[in-house]
């Protein structure tokens, strides 16, 4: 049995100020079928626009924001889950007055090779 705790996670800060810890995936368990990460986006910030060659799902745990997928955008809040189809340009912005916290599920597992950052 493998149990991971968010408070004990190894967080890193991405270039867009988003703090991320990967709970399950290739680096942690050599798990290639699915990965699970937790992200904390500070108020007033947005993630960099990017796309993946795999499906991704965000599950909003705390805060509010606007999710952008290709040419669509929609408000999101606690309890919302967002399906991000593979090869879709996307980013999320924190529009609230506190951190925006969310889980990121990737199928198959997240890889940098399968990620394309937009300029």
Q: Into how many domains does the chain fold? A: 1
pLDDT of residue 15: 87
Q: 3-state SS of the chain: helix, strand, coil percent to 5?
A: 5, 50, 45
Contact 36, 105 (CB under 8 A): yes
pLDDT of residue 98: 98
Q: Which helix (H) or strand (E) holds 93?
A: strand 90-94
Asked if residue 21 belongs to a domain, the reply is no
Q: Domain containing 107: what range?
A: 33-117
Asked if residue 20 belongs to a domain, the reply is no
Asked if residue 14 belongs to a domain, the reply is no
Contact 98, 43 (CB under 8 A): yes
pLDDT of residue 76: 99
DSSP 76-90: EETT-EEEE-TT--E
pLDDT tens sequence for the chain (119 residues): 999 999 999 999 998 999 999 999 999 999 999 999 999 999 999 999 999 999 999 999 999 999 999 999 999 999 999 999 999 999 999 999 999 999 999 999 999 999 999 97
Question: Which CATH number does the domain housing residue 41 bear?
Answer: 2.60.120.10
Asked if residue 80 belongs to a domain, the reply is yes
């Amino acid at each position: 049995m493998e149990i991971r705790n968010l408070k004990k996670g190894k967080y890193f800060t991405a270039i867009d100020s988003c703090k991320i810890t990967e709970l399950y995936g290739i680096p942690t368990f050599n798990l290639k079928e699915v990965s699970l990460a937790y992200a904390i986006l500070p108020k007033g910030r947005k993630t960099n626009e990017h796309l993946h060659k795999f499906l991704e799902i965000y599950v909003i745990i705390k805060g509010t924001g606007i999710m952008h997928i290709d040419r669509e955008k929609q408000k999101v809040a606690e309890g919302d889950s967002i399906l991000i189809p593979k090869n879709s340009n996307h980013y999320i912005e924190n529009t609230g007055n506190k951190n925006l916290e969310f889980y990121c599920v990737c199928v198959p597992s997240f890889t940098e090779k399968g990620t394309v950052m937009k300029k």
